[in-house]
Amino acid sequence: MSEFVSIAARQEGAVGIIELARPDVLNALSRQMVAEIVAAVEAFDRNEKVRVIVLTGRGRAFAAGADIQEMAKDDPIRLEWLNQFADWDRLSIVKTPMIAAVNGLALGGGFELALSCDLIVASSAAEFGFPEVNLGVMPGAGGTQRLTKLIGPKRALEWLWTGERLPAEEAHKLGIVTRVVSPELLMEETMRLAGRLAEQPPLALRLIKEAVQKAVDYPLYEGMQFERKNFYLLFASEDQKEGMAAFLEKRKPRFQGK
């Protein structure tokens, strides 16, 4: 994998780990950092040996938002030419399961990055929020859309309008966060979850993820038809043959992603 400046990326077994590495600025998301995150995610997504991707932040924050110093003097024409959110859009089509391990602050773009992942494991000290309104702007990388689909428009509006922070436990109650753990156990518990998913049949995980994503936008009947086609498709896989044979033979399956 290419050398990065703003992040660190490594592979541990079947898990690809991406660590945001600008702790001196609370991992503020510069355009370079976002481009590097997306490049690393896509590299792991293409790697058949990587079955789960974990994103986390170095230091006291997951990511405390966008790099405001970089954006303060932007204008609409420059933003249009930069097309900076195109990188964010690429995260939406990643097929490998993604887990955000959130330590500390996940604000603005940092919250949007966490919401781009499939699961969020948060430390009990984590805080989430969209403070953009306090700067005279609003989320632009999917925050209004993803938060609303998760918790509904009225709750989303309250947090988006006030810019207040959402503690990890409350985010868990609202269904934003998957698990809340003590800060010292964050990576241990995240890697345990990632390891569990890595043992599952990777093709099934990918098609389940795809079907769940469609469920958010599709009417029920169309979503069920999409689900059914993916169900049928998995019967063309070696993993389906192995999984059912292992069940009948009362042994642990050995999934190969084929």
Please list the residues that pair with 17 across neighbouring strands. Answer: 10, 54
Amino acid identity of residue 79, one-letter, is L
User: Is position 132 annotated as part of the catalytic site?
Assistant: yes
d(CA 174, CA 129): 13
What are the DSSP E strand ranges found in the chain? 7-12, 15-20, 52-57, 61-63, 98-102, 105-107, 119-123, 127-129, 166-167, 179-181
- Is the CB of residue 64 less than 8 Å from the CB of residue 28? yes
What is the residue whose two structure tokens read 């603005």?
Answer: 108
* Nearest partner of 175 among 154, 151, 142, judged by Cα: 151
The arrangement of strands across the sheet holding 179-181 comes to 7-12, 15-20, 52-57, 98-102, 119-123, 179-181
Neighbours of 215 (CB within 10 A): 15
Catalytic residue among 112, 127, 170, 222: 112
SS (H, E, C) 216-251: HHCCHHHHHHHHHHHHHHHCCCHHHHHHHHHHHHCC
Amino acid identity of residue 158, one-letter, is E
Catalytic residue among 19, 36, 127, 132: 132
The catalytic site residues sit at 112, 132
